[in-house]
Structure 1
Amino acid sequence: MSLNPQLIAQMTEWRRHMHRFPECGFDLPLTADFIADKLESFGIEVTRNVGQQGVVGVLRCGDGSASIGLRADMDALFIHEQNDFDHRSRHDGKMHACGHDGHSAMLLGAASYLAKNKGFNGSVHFIFQPDEEHGQGAQAMIDDGLFERFQIDAVYGLHNMPGLPEGNFTVRPGSLMASESSFEIVIEGVGGHAAMPHRGIDPIVVGSQIVLALQTIVSRNLSAIEETAVVSATEFLTNGTVNVIPSQVTIKGDCRCFTEDSLAKIEQSMERIVAGICQAAGAQYQFTFVNTFYPTVNSPAQTEHAIQAAEAVLGRENVEANCLPLTISEDFSSMLRVKPGCYALLGNGVESVGGCALHNPEYDFNDRILGHGAQYWVQLVCDQLK
């Protein structure tokens, strides 16, 4: 199975169109309509506005009851593009700096090919998701009945990876990517003159003790072998000045881990530490812990299906089947909490072609991998819906 040059040229055209007109979050009217119109032009049944701006296309063939879901993200980032090529962003302050334009184009290419060539028995669901960057889009589609309104047995996702050679594919069963959580600790002390600290409760001293104690969570509350995690205090804010002990300190930070069990332990340990140190000092506190992305955990069987499809398309020598986990995060994790599935990474290239890091104002998706991604999707469908 191979895609004809005309389809690859069309995917390039679609990708560059979406790059020119990036939209962010859930505010994706142009992008969602562009994708939905293309799917309908292929003869695919389309449902719009799933989870606000999500699009789901359904293609059926034969009499099989099996089904598969393929997901691409559509949203861009609030970054002002610094490239000067012709397809650069026309929307100031917004750009496709993560390659979601390429992800959507690859899935559109697979949809076009499958609509014309069929060759499978069952149903394919093409899922185009809003607001991945803020970690809310997948859950919004789920809450709007994605997996009740559409019969989907397993769900798959794919992301480009700068620094990985183009045409290389990497994945692992189990935890591939970390969770992302933020915390805020507000410590209420009693401020006063810097020359008379004994008359107050110094929240800077309390906060400093908390920052240091937070570093014991990973080293003393989690398994050094089984529970990799990161807890980072990133902001320390006060309402004091040069000769004034503040009355309030705010500590903010970020946590990453690879299992929901570790996530629960981190949150519980953090509040226990804050409560204990504040009580010892006579200070009051407010503690907020917000989880934005869950760990991305691949199902073993579906990961094996992904590996087999990638090897058939890219060659066994270009597939890494048990890569190291990554501390970046992805909201496809929310879909994997509901359905079995697999998320994988496709090399965007190295150095000058495709090597620029994600979320960088000079990034651009490498159009040479559009065919690889679309062929992978088609192979996966044909393998799983025989």
Structure 2
Amino acid sequence: IATGVGGTGVVARVGSGAAPVIILRADIDGLPVPEETPSNVPPSLVVEQSTHEGRSHACGHDGHAAMLLGAAKLLTSAGNEDPGYLSGGTVLLVFQPAEEGEGGMARMMAEGGLLTDKATFGPTPSSAFALHIWPYSYAPTGTVLGKSGPIMVASSAFRFVVKGQGGHAAIP
């Protein structure tokens, strides 16, 4: 685990250290925005309020960090050493500060050596993945939202495989 990457960034390397290398990234910065829950949000949906006056995780950064920690737990859990998880490659778990301001990933690369410090981070990553929650979508828990065509800064297609046991041909 490398801390202080480009300032306050954190990068954890999971896997063999060899190529292929992918980045899973989450933004972690609190924003200089006062915590203000909209009046149309039911109190039962308000899980937590910021304890730092004038700052908040207004667009889900705490959720992004929690999801990346969940991925870290999955990737490092006992029994996950089989080729189906990492296929002999490496995953860099990148906790990126300053997503909403100056610095951020650019600083992690330029000053922190994220793409050039082979001893710390391994070979150059071949791809990077991130996500962003929709805090006001009110979608049911367990729902993944998307749309056809580009969304945010991504314009690539992706494929994922869900491993498990189905219960019905129409609902695998």
Q: Give the structure-1-normalised TM-score.
A: 0.33
What does residue 151 of structure 2 align with?
176
Q: Pick from 157, 163, 166: which aligns with 1:304?
A: 157
What does residue 124 of structure 1 align with?
91
1:54 equivalent to 2:54? Answer: no
Higher RCO, Cα 8 Å, sep 6+:
2
Alpha-carbon distance, 1:82 to partner: 3.5
Structure 1: unaligned runs, 5 residues or longer: 1-45, 178-295, 314-386
Whose radius of gyration is greater, 1 or 2? 1
The 5 A counterparts of 1:125-140 are 125-140=92-107
Deviations 1:25-78 (A, max 9, x none): xxxxxxxxxxxxxxxxxxxxx0011111111100114x8631111000001221
Opposite residue 163 of structure 1, the aligned amino acid is S
Deviations 1:321-380 (A, max 9, x none): xxxxxxxxxxxxxxxxxxxxxxxxxxxxxxxxxxxxxxxxxxxxxxxxxxxxxxxxxxxx
> Sequence identity of aligned pairs in percent?
34
Q: 1:107 to 1:297 in 2, by over 3 A?
A: closer
What does residue 137 of structure 2 align with?
163
The answer to whether the 8 A contact 1:75-1:96 is kept is yes
Q: 1:64 to 1:86 in 2, by over 3 A?
A: closer
The answer to whether the 8 A contact 1:76-1:95 is kept is yes
CA distance in 1, matches of 2:89, 2:47: 41
Opposite residue 56 of structure 2, the aligned amino acid is M
3-state SS, counterpart of residue 304 of structure 1: coil
The 5 A counterparts of 1:79-98 are 79-83=33-37, 87-98=48-59
What does residue 25 of structure 2 align with?
71
Structure 2: unaligned runs, 5 residues or longer: 38-42, 164-172
What does residue 40 of structure 2 align with?
none
What does residue 33 of structure 1 align with?
none
CA distance in 2, matches of 1:68, 1:153: 6
Q: 1:165 to 1:147 in 2, by over 3 A?
A: same
Opposite residue 143 of structure 1, the aligned amino acid is A
The structure richer in strand per residue is: 1
What does residue 25 of structure 1 align with?
none
Alpha-carbon distance, 1:142 to partner: 1.7
CA distance in 2, matches of 1:73, 1:139: 13
Q: 1:163 to 1:108 in 2, by over 3 A?
A: same
Q: 1:297 to 1:110 in 2, by over 3 A?
A: closer
- What is the RMSD computed on CA atoms of the aligned residues? 2.5
The answer to whether the 8 A contact 1:76-1:98 is kept is no
CA distance in 1, matches of 2:109, 2:18: 25
Q: 1:147 to 1:172 in 2, by over 3 A?
A: farther
Opposite residue 133 of structure 2, the aligned amino acid is N
Alpha-carbon distance, 1:312 to partner: 3.3
Q: How many residues align?
A: 141
Q: Give the structure-2-normalised TM-score.
A: 0.71
After TM superposition, which residue ranges in structure 1, 4 or more long, deviate above 4 angstroms?
A: 83-86
Alpha-carbon distance, 1:168 to partner: 2.5
CA distance in 1, matches of 2:10, 2:147: 26
1:146 equivalent to 2:101? Answer: no
CA distance in 1, matches of 2:47, 2:127: 39
Q: 1:86 to 1:141 in 2, by over 3 A?
A: same
The structure richer in helix per residue is: 1
Q: 1:147 to 1:164 in 2, by over 3 A?
A: farther
